[in-house]
Structure 1
Amino acid sequence: MYTVLRQRMNEKAGDSWKDRVAHTFDYRSWHDWKIFVTHSSFSDQDRGRFREVTARSNPLETLSTGERRLATMLPLLAAAWSMYSGADYRGPRWVSIDEIDAAFDEPNLRQVLALLRSWGFDVLATAPFITPMIKKETGRVVVHQVVTAGKRRVTVPWLWEGQGEPE
């Protein structure tokens, strides 16, 4: 990964430091994207079951919020998996997901958690609360809970190992 980031920094060698860093970490330009989606509602005869997502035609608009989130999250996870699976890569397989449970029903959340586990990702995720289902599916959860008391905030870290009470 260092090599890729160094290469991206060098691509903008004459630019300001701020612009070089912005270019380096703009993940939207790390890969060329051509995304096709399918859904049971796309079964019309003349267009086939897969539809391309473009600026002019976005079949995701017909999906539920959770289905849209899943369809937009999967290409990003695939890109991360591809980068981490390179022959020369040695290190953590880290991804960060804000509100991992937002907009997902239980089957879709289970599917995402299973994918993250099968691809061997080290996940940093936020969630308004840790549901029993997330605990059961992951087997281990580290939580930093922020407790507000008046104007003070206290961080309470704990580890749940899949059974019993958190430590």
Structure 2
Amino acid sequence: MTPPAGTGPNGPLATLEHKLLAVNAEYGYWETVPTRWKDNDVYGHVNNAVHYSVMDTVINAWLIREAGLDIHRSRSIGLCVESQCVYKGSIEFPEPFRVGLRVGHLGRSSVRYEVGLFREDGETPVAEGRFVHVFVDRETRRPVEIGEPMRSAMNALLTGPTEETTA
């Protein structure tokens, strides 16, 4: 039987998995997110769609609490233009997610968040994902530069290159 395209030790998914795999110490922000009874699917574990919701929630909570985003009044807003998740294990209700957040790339108007979802007592993630936000003007929806204090908060979580170092 031939494995699915992109899998195996030399496929693009293996490369992605290698790039994403992290340990707890590599995340600068942590939050615990409870699972709910309705998060479990018929297979007895938290459904994969819930992982995306947890990542989105932690990113936006961090933006509001730590980076100064006012979701009702800020002139710029972040639009998700890319998201991805690699699943490495399962978790079941009532066990909470322990979620680590870092910034893998910071550009002029975009940021790539990298998120690790761990069991509460685990060192290896059950899932790792990434979200790319492009910040745009709330009215025109055209890209704008990420301003302060948001840029400083993002720099504090940065583990990868900035636009200046990659240009």
Q: Compute the TM-score of the two structures, normalised by the length of structure 1.
A: 0.29
Higher strand share: 2
Q: Compute the TM-score of the two structures, normalised by the length of structure 2.
A: 0.29
Higher helix share: 1
Of structures 1 and 2, the one with the larger relative CO (CA 8 A, separation 6+) is 2
